[in-house]
């Protein structure tokens, strides 16, 4: 059995299978895990995505759209190994805080990697889609609204930003949304961004996101002294530069600029 080493795992990983002991399997959810030197960001979206054409802002999402978006998953943080178990420590999570740690064993088998859960029984198959070709850099960010993270691996990037509203852990986001007192409250509950994109000619273009109106936009990150600016979209669809404090970084900060 060959065990992976975190320092050799940088790149984009795709999941082809998750299976549970009761026989259930999922081979259709789109799962993208971008791994840096230690930082990681993960985005998981069901296959039956509605048509979001015409949605330009959070306020444009109706109740049905919010309900579907609440079924997504995504998280960001630090990937660690204690000598026995690998753990994806979550500092940002699209779903409310889970009851169990995200930890398991990893081993290589032929041309894929097998993950087996420690606290929850499951098996996942992972395939490295893209090796890093270029800089690998990441930043953990903070603001009064909450934490964020930016990760670059070659010409790929992922960005994560926490929601501003607090949600009780232990319940699925869909349950929180279903119990919201208003559509505006439900919209605020899903206002957590996990985005994946590619850098082309200096533009950081978002290709997939938990917030569909963010897709095709330029993240345009800029480092200014001890802060990093990200181009965000407000509830009405207007773009603005959100400024974050730089908490910690890996790699060169200059590689996180457009």
The verdict on residue 139 lying in a domain is yes
Number of structural domains in the chain: 1
For 84-90, the CB contacts below 8 A with 24+ separation are 85/118, 86/6, 86/115, 88/40, 88/42
pLDDT tens digits along 27-62: 999 999 999 999 999 999 999 999 999 999 999 999
| DSSP codes joined into one string, 186-229 | HHHHT--EEEEEEEETTEEEEEEESSGGGTT-B---EEETTEEE
| 235 falls within a domain | yes
Residue span of the structural domain in which 100 resides: 6-256
Convert the pLDDT of each residue in 62-98 to its tens digit.
Answer: 999 999 999 999 999 999 999 999 999 999 999 998 8
Residue 128, in any domain of the structure = yes
Any idea what the CATH number is for the domain that residue 81 is in? 2.40.128.280
The helix/strand/coil state of 125 is strand
**What is the rounded CA–CA span in Å between residue 196 and residue 204?**
10
Question: Per-residue pLDDT averaged across 143-160, rounded?
Answer: 96
Separation between Cα atoms, residue 87 and residue 79, nearest integer Å: 6
Kindly state whether residue 1 falls inside one of the protein's structural domains: no
Q: What is the pTM of this model?
A: 0.97
């Amino acid at each position: 059995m060959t065990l992976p080493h975190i320092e050799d795992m940088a790149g984009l990983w795709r999941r082809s299978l998750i299976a549970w002991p009761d026989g259930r399997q999922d081979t259709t959810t789109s799962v993208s895990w971008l791994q840096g030197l230690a930082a990681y960001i993960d985005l998981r979206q069901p296959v039956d995505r509605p048509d979001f054409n015409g949605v330009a802002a959070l306020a444009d999402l109706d109740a049905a759209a919010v309900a579907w978006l609440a079924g997504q998953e995504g998280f960001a943080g630090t990937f660690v190994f204690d000598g026995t178990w690998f753990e994806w420590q979550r500092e940002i999570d699209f779903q409310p805080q889970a009851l169990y740690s995200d930890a398991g064993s990893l081993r290589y088998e032929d041309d894929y990697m097998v993950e087996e859960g420690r606290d929850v029984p499951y098996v996942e198959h992972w395939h490295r889609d893209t090796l890093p070709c270029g800089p690998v850099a990441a930043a953990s960010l903070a603001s009064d609204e909450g934490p964020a993270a930016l990760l670059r691996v070659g010409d790929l990037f992922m960005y994560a930003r926490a929601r501003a509203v607090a949600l009780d852990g232990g319940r699925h986001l869909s349950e929180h949304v279903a119990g919201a007192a208003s559509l505006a409250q439900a919209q605020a509950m899903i206002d957590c961004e996990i985005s994946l994109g590619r850098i082309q000619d200096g533009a950081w273009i978002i290709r997939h996101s938990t917030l569909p109106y963010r897709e095709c936009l330029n993240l345009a990150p800029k480092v200014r002294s001890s802060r990093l600016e990200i181009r965000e979209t407000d509830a009405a669809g207007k773009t603005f530069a959100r400024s974050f404090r730089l908490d910690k970084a890996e790699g060169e900060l200059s590689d996180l600029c457009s």
